[in-house]
Amino acid sequence: MQFELLKVDNAARVGKLVLPHGVVETPVFMPVGTNGAVKMCPRECAKRAGTQIVLANAFHLYIRPGLDVIKSFGGLHNFSSWDIPILTDSGGYQIFSLSKHVKVDNDGVTFKAPLDGTIHRFTPEKVVEIQEVIGSDIAMVLDECLAPGNDMKETETSLKRTSDWAKRALEFHTRKDQALFGITQGGFFKETRVISTNEITSMPFEGFAIGGLSVGEDLETTLKMLDVVMPLMPANKPRYLMGVGDPKLMLEAVERGVDMMDCVLPTRMARHGAVYTSRGKINIRASAYAFDKSPLDPECKCEVCQNYSRGYIHHLIKRGESTGMILATYHNMYFLHELMRNSRNAIREGNFSSFKRDFLKHLDESEKHVIVE
């Protein structure tokens, strides 16, 4: 992996990430393809929408189809026919999201698989092994993601565990054509965030992620923690904010120097009729759109907005037609990719702050007009 900074506008950055399966321009949004596929959007659909790199989940792929299957195909790229870079999450988020089925100790994590109830043991070494078999361009270390509400003592214990796991992952990782990223944690205390960031960034990872945010806390808390962490991050390596797909937070993150983001939100919302627009999010299921002949977003140039009406997509979503979900998914992905492309252009031109201010002004002005029936 190679990372090159091309332009900096205050703290916002444009960069180029060179990976075995392609070049990625940053800042970039990564759609989530948990099981090796973006829901309701096959490979060519995702690429046409502007996807440069996709995220898959090592935990879920390990459960199904299993490493033997993926290995027999020569890795996830061959198995899924993805010909662009893939980043694999380690399963650390599942410590948070599946907490009722997880037991954590200093050596690793014991999972009860939600699919079939089978018990599995993940250690930092095992997670590296899984991702080396998968063959992703970027692999993430195993970390512990805490929910809001943990006290300082619990956070300090978790922080130490995450740092120890990171060291073990580094020592075990051998695949030279795969970058390994460390993950900073530290909960919602300034002191522990500083400690974790300093500890993880002192290790020779090829990139660094900010974990444990966007897990239910409010926007103000997220930004407060980012303001603590971002000045401590190395400037010469990519910075990845995990779990972010809200346009406002994405721009706030880019302004602070974040290079990479991912989230299941745009695709999940689309399947239920929630659509991003330049004037705010709309719920296309609302009856007010039944006779609406306009596109999802009059300012959007995606294939969906050029060819289909709100009324038609409203009908499809209301009837549970997968075609409606596909169209809404494509649009939401295009919208976020276009937001990042316009952000890169604004940074190159040295006017990202103005771009962000104008974009958010339109969103704020539209809030009272959004139909949420």
Active site residues: 89, 262
65 upstream amide cis, omega within 30 of 0:
yes
Backbone φ and ψ of 148, nearest 5°: -60, 150
CB of 71 within 8 A of CB of 55? no
DSSP 27: S
**DSSP line for 132-201:** HHHT-SEEE----PPPTT--HHHHHHHHHHHHHHHHHHHHH---TTSEEEEEE--TT-HHHHHHHHHHHH
| Identity of the residue numbered 87 | L
| Length of the chain in terms of residues written | 373
Structure tokens at 86: 């893939």
Distance CA 288, CA 211 (A): 39
User: Which residues of 177-294 form beta strands (DSSP E)?
Assistant: 179-184, 207-210, 239-241, 260-263, 274-275, 282-283
**Could you tell me the end-to-end alpha-carbon distance of the chain, in angstroms, rounded to an integer?**
47
Residue in the structure block whose two tokens are 């699919």: 115
| Identity of the residue numbered 136 | S
Distance CA 192, CA 241 (A): 17
Distance CA 173, CA 161 (A): 18
Of the candidates 142, 143, 134, which has an alpha carbon nearest to the alpha carbon of residue 66?
134
Q: How many CB atoms lie within 10 A of CB 235?
A: 10
27 upstream amide cis, omega within 30 of 0:
yes
